A and B are shown apart, each in its own frame.
Chain A
Amino acid sequence: MSKNNIKVALIGNPNTGKTSLFNQLTGLNQKVGNYPGVTVDKKQGVSKLSATQNAIITDLPGTYSINPTSVDESIVLKTLLKKDIKESPDVILVVADIENLKRNLLLFSQIKDLEIPTVLAINMVDQMSRKGISIDLSLLKKELNTEVVLISARKNEGINDVKEAIIRCHVAAKASPLCGINHKIDPDYFHKLKEISPNYSLYELWLMVTQNNYPDTITSEEKEKLLAFKQDVSKLKKYQHKETIYRYQEINKILKKTYIVDKSKATDIRSKLDKVFTHKIFGYAIFSFILLVIFQSIFDWASVPMDFIDSTFAQLSDFAKSNLQPGVLTDLLAEGIIPGVGGVIIFIPQIAILFLFIAILEETGYMSRVVFLMDKIMRRFGMNGKSVIPLISGTACAIPAIMATRTISSWKERLITILVTPFTTCSARLPVYAIIIALVIPNKKIFGFLNLQGLVLLSLYALGFATAILAAYILHKTLKIKSKSFFVVEMPNYKLPSIKNVLFDVIEKTKAFVLGAGKIILALSIVLWFLASNGPASFKNSEKNVIENSENQQLSDVVLQQKIASAKLENSYIGIMGKSIEPIIKPLGYDWKIGIALITSFAAREVFVGTLATIYSVEADDENTTTIKQKMASEVNETGGKLFNFPVGMSLLVFYAFAMQCMATLAIVKRETKTWKWPLIQLFGMTGLAYVSSFIIYQILS
């Protein structure tokens, strides 16, 4: 990125099509990074404005105002207050929705007062005639004293006008406040404020005072003077109220001249759909049905590509073994890296399907109705209607889910949501569930159409949700945190999801997951392979011992090789680790091999399958290519029966449902709660619950 690129910040209310515009401007030229110090995703992309001019566009989180009420929204303020000079934008592109122009202009008026060159893009103009709206564009430009562009981001209309406007605006570099805040409120007060520094606009100084947020460039003398203004808190609050009302008065004046709505021409399906989706019976029925469809399709649709990925990697591993020079490197590749990569790739179908459904529900506007339906219920458990989104997203991955709690402004409700979200069945549990269910639950239909395996999976999801809710209730009653709960949710208009937005969302989240969690899984696979193929003196002697011990027996070569491999694994470092915890896990029905998988699962659950893959491929003889599932099914226990029998399977399912086994989640909880206290409570509380529950299940069933 050259220095001549224009830095553009993209800002707008939620539900204005900001993401659509971002996607249209940048195409696939996007990258997701982090803002320093916080984990809010920072989406940036390059846009070719003209033959000679590029822009770097930063997509800021959606907000209704520059005054933040949540972590997400505070990013906007920090970016605009030039916390970091390198990040400060040259031009601000404000996206507004034609139907809610009045409310959208509030944010615009605040931004304009920062005196940074600003372009206003009014989106969804293709809806104008249907909503009975007409607009006087040239007068609006004049009144707002800025570049105004009419666009339809979804239909890719007006995008070039936006690009041209950005260039014009950047070249002119003129910026003047729209409202100014001093005149009507308290001229004296604001005059004194402005006198503190000539380097900042009055509105910037006002934001520093009200939001307690200062640019790096501020001097200590200036800061001291600003702090003096913070003394009278009730006055600040009163002036903020007055400021907002004043802004709306100015906006109303402008819109009266330029914006006409003829309601008789408006056709709206919103009220009809709302009657159904928020109905006291149909509302919940539809929501339950949607959840059922999502979970059934994860199991049904994903199984085909998953089986394909599973067998492909088994063949690939076999191919490497038989075609490369035998040696340590080939072993590392065939037994460490290939199964490790396969263990990451195998989740992509499930994660992508889940993110696809979530993206569609959010895009259509339906998710807000769910928040509306669920708020009262969730509040009884110390959460918020908005907690539904993290809890559903948690079925894909707890990491984005915990980040999604940032929109909850009450700290107690947010904390409880963060703490219980890891109980929901994330996709890392799915491969574990899938393989165990396939082993211990018969694949048959009940009532002719319900897949029994699917039904067990659904019950595990229900168990996860129920435990999350129950844990939330206990936390609600025990946590002594005072925090003001405030709740307001916009109910956006219903719309058809844009395929482009949905696909970009799915690709981006899946990529972030694979690259993030994938690294841990791959690294652990290699460490595991090393621990499984090395060991102390007994490991090196194991081959000799087996041969000596079986000299008198007439063993075929294949059986002998298997015995050697098995003895080697038992005496390897990992075998020793697994054996040393065997006494603890025996009451749950697990042997030391499952013990190894449990140990590695504490880094991340999905490693369970990868670990078993590694263990069994180390153990298996070379001539037989079998999938992990087949290998597991043929494992026998001490009494000669199947190792993965019904009691062991159920005990494992429950253990994985409850235990906190994800390093990445613990790390994100630490970052979001700013202390180790909460992740440690999760780690010990959840794992303790898992141990006790699995113990009870196994003892009852066996």
Chain B
Amino acid sequence: MNTIASLHIGEIGYISEESLDFIPLKLLEMGCLPGAEVQLIQIAPLKDPIYICVNGSHLAIRKETALQIKILKANL
């Protein structure tokens, strides 16, 4: 199963419904909702944290959090 952490720069995915219980409330509140489109924008030079755009919000999150959020990759 893919997670946000497995996206490549520029790639887009959709947060899967089953992730709901693993998304911290704060991230949910910032727009990281099941079904939302998430794009990986940048990875920090030391591979962590990562910079994503989800639901229009530009956020930096740590890899450990990203690994918990499952996604479906968009078919390009």
Contact = CB atoms under 8 A, between A and B. Distances in A.
A123 to B, nearest CB: 16
Contact of A103 (B24, B26, B48, B55): B55
B47 to A, nearest CB: 7
B25 A488 contact: no
Contacts of A373: 44-45
Contacts of B65: 486-488
Interface in A223-263: 237-238, 240-241, 244-245, 248
B45 to A, nearest CB: 4
Interface residues of A, number: 42
Contacts of A445: none
Nearest to B25: A240
B41 A271 contact: yes
Which interface class (under 10, 10 to 19, 20 to 34, 35 or more) fits B?
A: 20 to 34
B56 A375 contact: no
A424 to B, nearest CB: 22
A491 B28 CA distance: 16
A102 B46 CA distance: 32
Contacts of B61: 487-488
A103 B56 contact: yes
Nearest to B29: A65
A11 to B, nearest CB: 14
Given A490-B57, A491-B58, A241 B44 contact: no
A241 B46 contact: no
Interface string A175-215: 00000000000000000000000000000000000000000
Nearest to A278: B42
Nearest to B63: A376
Contacts of A493: 58
Contacts of B24: 486, 488
A274 B45 CA distance: 13
B29 to A, nearest CB: 4
Given A278-B44, A279-B45, A488-B61, 9 more contacts: A67-B29, A100-B56, A106-B29, A244-B33, A245-B20, A373-B45, A487-B60, A488-B30, A493-B58
Interface of A: 64-65, 67, 69, 99-100, 102-103, 106, 237-238, 240-241, 244-245, 248, 270-271, 274-275, 278-280, 283-284, 368, 371-373, 375-377, 385, 485-493
Kindly list the 10 A-B residue pairs having the minimum CB-CB distance in the complex, ordered from nearest.
Answer: A280-B45, A376-B46, A491-B58, A65-B29, A489-B60, A372-B60, A244-B28, A487-B62, A376-B48, A103-B31
